[in-house]
Amino acid sequence: MTLWQGILLGLVQGLTEFLPVSSSGHLALLRSVTNMRISDEIFVFVAVTLHVATLCSVLVVYGRKLAQVVFGTLRGSGPDRRYAILLIVGTIPGALLGALFHERFEEAFGSLRFIGAAFIVTGLVLWSTRRAQARAEPLSVGGALQIGIAQAVAIFPGISRSGSTVSAALWRGLPPVEAAEFSFLLAVIIIAGSGVFEARHAVSNVGAVGAVPLAAGFVVAFASGIAAIRFLVAMLKRGRFYAFAPYCVAIGLFTLAYALWHG
């Protein structure tokens, strides 16, 4: 992988991880368009590494909230303990699906037809939130599980993790800003787990990719991820989450056309 490819992948990852347009789908499409000649296994390693960079972005923006939940739980705070339980419940479906279908996940990165269709599905999901109404009641364990299932489905490229989880939270009646906060904190555990899983082959994979391009991509993904989080929260405050739907459908149609054109 060249330096400019690492920087470009980092920028795409940082901007699209938190905007509801599927970072993994964009990375796979970019890999094909730029003719990046690395195996599916190595590319998944690169994608997970860049996801870890955006995990650091979450920690910068929501680190205070996460620390409050962790230390509040240790001190016996009821609200913080309840929030921690909701996060754990929401993480379980994604952890199970990732462990059971890791190989299918790698295979999906190589199928632009699958990714194109998944982009369109993401667009339809986003569009469905335009009439979602916030309700007064707090998030329940059942609601956290539903959001977790939405996150689990988004393990496949083209299905946006933030799009799925924020949409599910909005359907459950969470106010937009709270929906984003829960979605991003939910990402912390699942992305950290993916990073630990991929770290088992880190030395050989870094050698195959190149340490400098990977480091450059990491830094760019981290910085652009912070900007993307703040932009998405601003869009949610204006009630414009569904505005990303037309883009997802358009990039999905482009991906399908590209896949058909190139066989």
Closest CA relative to residue 217, chosen from 36, 62, 95, 60 = 36
Tens of each residue's pLDDT in the chain, 263 residues: 788 888 998 999 898 888 899 888 888 888 888 887 777 677 777 887 888 888 899 889 988 998 999 999 999 889 999 999 999 999 999 888 876 766 666 566 668 899 999 999 999 999 999 888 888 788 899 999 999 999 888 888 889 989 999 999 999 889 988 998 999 898 887 777 766 655 555 555 666 777 888 899 999 999 999 999 999 989 888 888 899 999 999 999 999 999 888 75
Q: Which residue has the tokens 């880190």?
A: 202
Q: What is the pLDDT of residues 202-223, one digit of tens each?
A: 555 666 777 888 899 999 999 9
Range of 190's domain? 3-261
According to DSSP, residue 49 is labeled: H
The total domain count for the chain is 1
Global confidence as pTM = 0.85
Q: Measured between alpha carbons, how far is 136 from 142 in angstroms, rounded to an integer?
A: 16
